[in-house]
């Protein structure tokens, strides 16, 4: 049925090798479970996404470029979360509202 050796010495050698391999597999499983637990804790500890995003210019002295609803796909990489009051103030100061997510509509500001 199986291709195991018939003598005791080789069977014991095979048993030792399988034990070592099994220990390696168990350590790999434990490490993978720890990584997954850490990843899950990171997801749970992540702060909530801001409700409003203010897209900023290329340098810190340039004025804001656009206002977005939090999670907008069009927000770009240079943005920061702002409060509702700051979002309303930005629109009042002439910051352009994103045409994809329409934060002006979400805030109830009519043109």
Helix H, strand E, coil C: the string for the chain is CCCCCCCHHHHHHHHHHHHHHHHHHHHHHHHHHHHHHHHHHHHHHCCCCCCEEEECCCCCCCCCCEEEECCCCCCCCCEEEECHHHHHHHHHCCCEECCCCCHHHHHCCCC
Same domain, 63 and 97: yes
Please state, in angstroms and rounded to a whole number, the distance separating the CA atoms of residues 108 and 80. Answer: 21
Q: Are residues 76 and 37 in the same domain?
A: no
The residue segments making up the domain with residue 64 are 52-107
Q: What is residue 74's predicted lDDT score, i.e. its pLDDT?
A: 87
| pLDDT for the residue 48 | 86
Q: 32 and 61 share a domain?
A: no
Same-domain pairing of 40 and 56: no
Domain count of the fold of the chain = 2
Mean pLDDT score, 89-110: 88
pLDDT at 111: 56
In this predicted model, what pLDDT tens digit does every residue of 41-87 receive, in sequence order? 999 999 888 899 999 888 877 888 899 998 889 887 888 899 999 99
**Structure tokens, 50:** 């801001």
Q: Which of the pair, 47 or 28, is modelled with greater confidence?
A: 28
Kindly state whether residues 29 and 60 are assigned to the same domain: no
Query: Residue 49 has what pLDDT?
Result: 82
Same-domain status, 31 and 72: no
Question: Same structural domain for residues 41 and 16?
Answer: yes
The structure tokens listed for 72 are 């907008």
């Amino acid at each position: 049925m199986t291709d195991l050796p018939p003598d005791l010495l080789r069977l014991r050698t095979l048993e030792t090798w399988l034990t070592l391999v099994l220990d390696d597999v168990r350590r790999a499983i434990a490490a993978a479970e720890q990584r997954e637990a850490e990843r899950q804790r990171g997801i749970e500890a992540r702060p909530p996404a801001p409700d409003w995003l203010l897209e900023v210019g290329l340098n810190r002295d340039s004025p804001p470029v656009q206002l977005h609803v939090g999670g907008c796909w069009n927000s770009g990489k240079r943005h920061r979360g702002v409060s509702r009051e700051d979002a309303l103030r930005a629109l009042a100061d002439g910051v352009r509202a994103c045409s994809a997510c329409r934060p002006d509509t979400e805030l109830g500001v009519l043109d």
